[in-house]
Amino acid sequence: MNEMTKIETTLKDWETDQEVRWCPGCGDYAILKAVQRTLPQLGADPKNTCFISGIGCSSRFPYYMETYGFHTIHGRAPAFATGVKLANPDLDIWLVTGDGDGLSIGGNHMMHVLRRNVNMQIMLFNNEIYGLTKGQFSPTSREGTPSPSTPIGSYDRPANPAGFAIGAGARFIGRGFDVSKNLPDVLKAAHAHQGAAFIEIFQNCIVYNKDVFNDFAAPKGAGDRQLWLEHGKPMLFGDPKAGFDKGIALDRDTLQLKVVEATEENWEEAGVLVHDAKNRVIAHMLIEMPFGPFPMALGVIYDDPAPTFEAAVAGERAKATKGKTANLAKLLGSGQTWTVDDKQGHPTD
C-alpha cells in the first residue's frame, strides 16, 4: 500500500451494481465481503484503489469492487500491475489471482513481481482446482485428485504457493481462508506492508473441490489444526478457551520444527518459539510444516520490508536525469552532426 489520506467509507461504497456471478456458496463471496469490510477500516480511497486480475473464477473479482479495475489475460496480471504501478505509484493495487492463473500459466510473472518487490497486495485464491474450465486438477491439487483430465486421480506433485512465494523472494507472506474471521487482519497487515505482499487464501470451490480444506478449516476442532501466528507471541495452539495445550518448538539437533505439549503458563520451559515475522528461516519452516503431524500455519507468517521496485525505479531516474533537462531540438541534433550552410552543400564542420 501507499501512505495516504484516510477516507471515510462504508462497505456499501465498495460494492458495484453488477450482479455477482460466482456459484452459490462459493468461498469467493466470503473473500469479497472480507475485502469490502476491510477497505473502510483502512481508510482506503476508492478512486486510488485498483484491482487487477488475470483469468479464472477469482479474477472476476474486480467487477464487483467499486474501484478502478482491470480484468486482464490469463496469468499476466502481475505484469500489468507492474506497469500500472510504475506509471502511477500513488495507486493502491490489489492483485487477484488463483492457483492456476498465478502458479501455472502465470508462475513466471508471479516470481518476478515478488522478487522485484512491486508494492501491491497479491491475493492468491487457492482452491486447488481449475473451476472456470470445469474442474481439471491444478498445480496445487493434492496427489490423487480425480478430475476430468485425471479420471483415476492426479499424479503431479503439488506446488506450495507460500513456499513458492518465499523462494521467489517475497518479503510478506500471509495465509488465511475464505470464511475465517481473521482474514481481514491478514489483509490489513498485507496492506500496511510496503512492497509485494503475498496472501494465500484457501478458498472452497463447492462445485469441483468441495470442502477440500475442511481438514483444517472446519470449525470443529479448529484450535488443534490451525496455528494463528502473531508477531511477538508464542506459537501455541489447541483449544484457546482452555489456554492452549500444544506449541511449536525447534528440535535443535535436526533443525526441524516439532510439536510439544505446552500451555500459556509453561510455554517458555517447553521451548515454544516466539513468532518473529522477520525470521525468514523459521517462516520457511512454518510454511512447509506437513499438515497432519503439524497444524496449518496461518496469519502473518513473514513480514520483513525491503525497498520497493517503484522506489528503485524512481531513484534510478533521479540519478540518470541529474543535471539534465529535456530539450528535444537539442536531442535530435546531437551525436555526429554537420552543418550545410550554402546551396553548394559544403559542410562546415
Q: Which of 33, 37, 112, 188 binds other proteins (CB under 8 A)?
A: 112
Binding piece for other proteins, criterion CB under 8 A, among 31-39, 162-170, 200-208, 336-344: 336-344
Using CB under 8 A, which residues numbered 70 to 89 contact other proteins? Answer: 70-73, 76, 78-88
The total of other beta-carbon atoms located within 10 Å of residue 132's CB is 15
Shortest Å distance, C-beta 306 to other proteins: 19
Query: Where does residue 281 rank: exposed (0-12), middle (13-18), buried (19+ CB within 10 A)?
Result: exposed
Shortest Å distance, C-beta 233 to other proteins: 38
CA distances from 10 to 39, 62, 182, 276 (A): 8, 18, 19, 34
Task: Give yes or no for residue 219 binding other proteins (CB under 8 A).
Answer: no
Q: Which of 6, 10, 108, 268 binds other proteins (CB under 8 A)?
A: 108
Please give the size of the binding site for other proteins, defined by CB under 8 A.
64
Task: Give yes or no for residue 5 binding other proteins (CB under 8 A).
Answer: no
Question: What secondary structure does DSSP assign to 150-170, as a single string?
Answer: BTT---SPPP-HHHHHHHTT-
Task: Give yes or no for residue 337 binding other proteins (CB under 8 A).
Answer: yes
Task: Give yes or no for residue 12 binding other proteins (CB under 8 A).
Answer: no
Nearest one of 18, 5, 82 to 46, comparing CA atoms: 5
Q: How far apart are CA 246 and CA 119, in angstroms?
A: 36
Torsion sign across C-alpha atoms 110, 113, 114, 120: negative
Both ends of the chain: CA-CA distance in Å?
55
Site map (CB under 8 A) of other proteins, residues 282-321, x = contact: -------------------------------x---x--xx
Task: Give yes or no for residue 331 binding other proteins (CB under 8 A).
Answer: yes
Q: Which of 101, 109, 121, 189 binds other proteins (CB under 8 A)?
A: 109
Place of cell 550545410: 340
Q: How far apart are CA 299 and CA 95, in angstroms?
A: 19
Using CB under 8 A, which residues numbered 159 to 188 contact other proteins? Answer: none
Q: Which letter does DSSP use for residue 321 in this model?
A: H
Identify which of residues 240 and 333 has a Cβ nearer to other proteins in the complex: 333
Q: How far apart are CA 263 and CA 272, in angstroms?
A: 9
Q: Which of 42, 50, 123, 257 binds other proteins (CB under 8 A)?
A: 50
Identify which of residues 255 and 332 has a Cβ nearer to other proteins in the complex: 332
Identify which of residues 29 and 63 has a Cβ nearer to other proteins in the complex: 63
Task: Give yes or no for residue 8 binding other proteins (CB under 8 A).
Answer: no
Residue 332, C-alpha cell as written in the block = 535530435
Task: Give yes or no for residue 339 binding other proteins (CB under 8 A).
Answer: yes
Nearest one of 110, 80, 112 to 93, comparing CA atoms: 80
Shortest Å distance, C-beta 25 to other proteins: 22
CA torsion angle 107 108 109 112 (round to 10)? 120
Positions touching other proteins (CB under 8 A) are 16, 18, 46-48, 50, 52, 55, 62-63, 65-73, 76, 78-88, 90-91, 108-109, 111-112, 313, 317, 320-321, 324-326, 328-329, 331-347, 349
